């Protein structure tokens, strides 16, 4: 199993675990206010660093970069449910920055990989 798969699996295991811990400690909303947003932000940073460091296999990382960015973009919906907006906004804006960075650094590879993924 590759590190990119492990990171996504860990995100999807840690997110409910953090929420459950918050619920059992009185539900002070720290999990949804801060932890989940910063966890998605860390996922995005890790995926970006792995893609930049391991450029040889960039085409294999594109789907993971897109999925981690989409997860971070979903964090912008948390303020709709009366949760703290700044951490959600930070995760959302960094997801946009990651996508733009991929377009700027790896334009041809990124676009061709997107075409392969979405069958365009």
Residues with Cβ within 8 Å of 119's Cβ and at least 6 positions away in sequence, in order, are: none
What's the rounded Cα separation, in Å, for the pair 114 and 120? 8
- The tokens of 45 are what? 């940073």
Residue-level pLDDT at 56: 79
Compute the mean pLDDT over every residue in the chain, rounded to the nearest whole number.
88
pLDDT band at 17 (very low <50, low <70, confident <90, very high): very high
- The tokens of 81 are what? 């449910």
Does 43 have pLDDT greater than 90? yes
pLDDT band at 106 (very low <50, low <70, confident <90, very high): confident
pLDDT band at 1 (very low <50, low <70, confident <90, very high): low
For the stretch 73-81, contacts whose Cβ atoms lie closer than 8 Å and that sit 24 or more positions apart, written own/partner, are: 74/40, 75/36, 75/37, 75/40, 78/32, 78/33, 78/36, 78/37, 81/32
Verdict on whether the full-model pTM lies above 0.75: yes
What's the rounded Cα separation, in Å, for the pair 98 and 67? 12
Nearest to 89 by CA among 36, 46, 37: 37
Q: Are 68 and 43 in contact (CB under 8 A)?
A: yes
Chain-centre distance of CA 61, in angstroms? Answer: 13
Residue-level pLDDT at 102: 86
């Amino acid at each position: 199993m590759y590190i990119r798969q492990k990171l996504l699996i860990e995100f999807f295991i840690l997110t409910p675990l953090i929420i459950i811990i918050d619920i059992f400690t009185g539900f002070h909303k720290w999990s949804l206010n801060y932890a989940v947003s910063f966890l998605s932000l860390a996922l995005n940073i890790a995926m970006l660093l792995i893609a930049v460091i391991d450029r040889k296999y960039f085409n294999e990382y594109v789907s993971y970069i897109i999925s981690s960015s989409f997860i971070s973009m979903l964090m912008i919906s948390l303020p709709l449910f009366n949760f703290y907006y700044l951490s959600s906004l930070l995760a959302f804006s960094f997801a946009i920055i990651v996508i733009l960075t991929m377009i700027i650094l790896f334009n041809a590879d990124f676009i061709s990989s997107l075409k392969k993924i979405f069958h365009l």
